[in-house]
Chains A and B, each alone.
Chain A
Amino acid sequence: DVKVTQSSRYLVKRTGEKVFLECVQDMDHENMFWYRQDPGLGLRLIYFSYDVKMKEKGDIPEGYSVSREKKERFSLILESASTNQTSMYLCASSPESGGSYEQYFGPGTRLTVT
């Protein structure tokens, strides 16, 4: 079974702190994604990566950065956390094969910024 793990289920940080969210997948997938999920807005893509050290902006990249130094690990960084970044963050991965691009999701990290 594909497994995508996220470093924390719940996280509480203060405004202005630098926050790291870690995601690891164990299936050698090329593509990895970070989303945030907010009530009434569904999933919004923050950043994605299709190879080591490669990244692409999604729909809402402002205030975030990412790092992919190894194929299995994709980190989301909040350089200076703000209260409007309180949200559920979901990581996903997918293989680059067959064109169907099914994504596999981690359990999510609920981040609260106070």
Chain B
Amino acid sequence: GDSVTQMEGPVTLSEEAFLTINCTYTATGYPSLFWYVQYPGEGLQLLLKATKADDKGSNKGFEATYRKETTSFHLEKGSVQVSDSAVYFCALSDRGSTLGRLYFGRGTQLTVWP
């Protein structure tokens, strides 16, 4: 079945460091891929998405490229800020399914120190 595996945390970085959070997926169809972010005490917000192979999603300095050959969707940011401290979730949806459910990874806690 469909599933997502993402890098386990926690990840701790200094401000302005480079961030990579790895995400790989297994899917039977042609998934769309997402990164969601959850700030402390809040629900999940969509950070970025990609709907087909080689698409790059980007938002707020974060980016991720849909790599079909490696079944990956790694999240990157060139220079993190303290305000990026949050939990990040990778997710996929099977576009061939009409039910619209998402499959989430377990989340990666990111802490950025000043």
* Number of cross-chain contacts by CB at 8 Å: 64
B93 pairs with A101, CB closer than 8 A: yes
Closest residue of chain A to B42 (Cβ to Cβ) is A107
Is B104 touching A43 in the complex (CB atoms < 8 A)?
A: yes
Docked-complex contact B100 and A43, CB < 8 angstroms:
no
Q: Are A100 and B101 in contact (CB under 8 A)?
A: no
Bound Cα distance from A28 to B98, whole angstroms:
17
A48 adjacent to chain B (CB < 8 Å): yes
Q: Mark A33-52, 1 if CB is under 8 A from B, else 0.
A: 10000001111010010100
Q: Report which B residues bind A (CB closer than 8 A).
A: 32, 34, 36, 42-46, 49, 51, 89, 93, 95, 98-102, 104-107
Chain B residues with CB under 8 A of A30? 100
Q: What is the CB-to-nearest-CB distance from A60 to chain B, in angstroms, rounded to a whole number? A: 13
Docked-complex contact B106 and A50, CB < 8 angstroms: no
Q: Are B44 and A100 in contact (CB under 8 A)?
A: no
| Bound-state Cα–Cα, A105 to B45, Å | 7
